Amino acid sequence: MNTGYFHRVHKETKTRFWINNPSGSDLEKAIQAGAVNCTTNPSYCSKLLQSEPDYIKGVIHNTAKVHRSLPSDQLAVEVIKIVSKRILDRFYPLYQAGSGKEGYVTIQDDPRKDFDADHTVKAHLEFARLGKNFMAKIPVIAGGCEAIEELVARNIPICATEIFSIAQAVEICERYDRASKKSGNHPPFFVTHITGIFDQYFAEIVKNEKISIDPSLLAQAGTIIARKEYRILKERNLPGTLLGGGARNLTHFTEFVGGDFHITINWSTAEELIRLYPPVESRIDTPTPREVVEELAAKLPGFRRAYEEDGMKPDEFADFGPVMLFKTMFLNGYIRLLDEIAEVRGRVRV
């Protein structure tokens, strides 16, 4: 009988644990610990260059030899397919055992092309050929929203990501609902709030602009937005399961326990929770004092935009500070993959 932390969480609540960007060994440990799904992002290959350099360099080398005539951009996609297929295959037994309710693996396309809805649709239809347990991971910006609607109509599972605001969460749920009703398809749908990056962005704003604010209040910012998103989805019966992402500390898991809420974390965070074995306490409905929200909104206009449902329109999503910060991380990771491809091609003369 499994009695580890995540097994207890799964037994006692509806909260579920996903693993993010795992190495091969971390993947095995995460599945044993109870991970039900897996997320990857455009930085995945650059992470593997740190955690499994021999593996990923070997994949790049062999792929470059096989696909000598492919441009580097397309070669990068082939590399992503190979490293993703390793995870898809490992999670497929969970998909089979759960009749398609778990065992999914998300793949995200080239972050430089997020704005191109047609490209995004074509890329994810290609990724979908890797396995039945593939899930398209697409940012909630204008082009991404269009792509998500089209893929819902084609019955492709969706992980809507880079969500930092109530406006984004509501917009993509309404678009899914519209596409689902029109097509008759209801693929799995996760609405991903990036808690830790939200906090990281505003911590930098406070530091750089020398804003006087209690650090304990600032540390609640991303969690406050996520809990409001959760309430809205439940109260309005909107489609989708909230998925927490971008965790930067243990509270970005533990503060959401108790809800019908999934959270994806790195293995290092999961390992710490397993070691600490904290009590399983329902925290999702913990109320936020009104004065905390008011102070954050008064001192951080960006927080106010994220907290208010009409805080921004779809054509403003991509320019929101936390979205840009997260996208920059992905761009840097993807460029690192392209640099490695260029270096390998230079060595093997392909």
**pLDDT tens sequence across 107-159:** 999 999 999 999 999 999 999 999 999 999 999 999 999 999 999 999 999 99
Q: Are 233 and 259 in contact (CB under 8 A)?
A: no
For 164-189, what is each residue's pLDDT tens digit?
999 999 999 999 999 999 999 999 99
Q: Does the pLDDT value for residue 341 go beyond 80?
A: yes
Q: What is the pLDDT of residue 2?
A: 75
CATH architecture of the domain covering 5-348: Alpha-Beta Barrel (3.20)
Phi, psi of 16 (to 5 degrees): -130, 150
Residue 116: burial class (beta carbons within 10 Å; 0-12, 13-18, 19+): middle
Element (H, E) at 241: strand 241-245
Among 279, 282, 252, 280, residue whose Cα is nearest residue 265 = 252
The pLDDT value recorded for residue 347 is 75
- Report the distance separating Cα 232 and Cα 166, nearest Å: 9
Q: How far is CA 157 from CA 55, 80, 84, 104, 216, in A?
A: 29, 19, 16, 9, 37
Dist. CA 167–CA 171, nearest whole Å: 6
Checking DSSP bridges between strand 158-163 and strand 105-108, what pairing results, if any? unpaired
Mean pLDDT of the chain: 96
pLDDT (0 to 100) of residue 337? 98
Q: Is the pLDDT of residue 284 over 60?
A: yes
Q: Which residue has the tokens 């697409």?
A: 138
Q: How far apart are CA 141 and CA 317, in angstroms?
A: 5
Q: Where are the alpha helices (DSSP H) in the chain?
A: 5-12, 24-33, 44-51, 53-66, 72-97, 117-127, 142-153, 166-183, 195-209, 215-218, 221-235, 251-254, 267-276, 290-299, 301-307, 321-348
Q: What is the pLDDT of residues 209-265, one digit of tens each?
A: 999 999 999 999 999 999 999 999 999 999 999 999 999 999 999 999 999 999 999
> How many Å apart are CA 28 and CA 24, to the nearest integer?
7
Q: What DSSP line would sit under 132-170, residue for residue?
A: TTEEEEEESSHHHHHHHHHHHHTT--EEEEEE-SHHHHH
- Assess whether pLDDT exceeds 70 at residue 349: no
User: Residue 346: which pLDDT band, with cuts at 50, 70 and 90?
Assistant: confident
* Residues ≥6 apart with Cβ < 8 Å to 217: 292, 295, 296
Candidates 286, 289, 321; CA nearest to 305 is 321
Calculate mean pLDDT across residues 33-41. 98
The pLDDT value given to residue 36: 98
Q: What is the pLDDT of residues 63-119, one digit of tens each?
A: 999 998 999 999 999 999 999 999 999 999 999 999 999 999 999 999 999 999 999
For residue 350, what pLDDT is reported? 46
Q: So where are the chain's domains?
A: 5-348
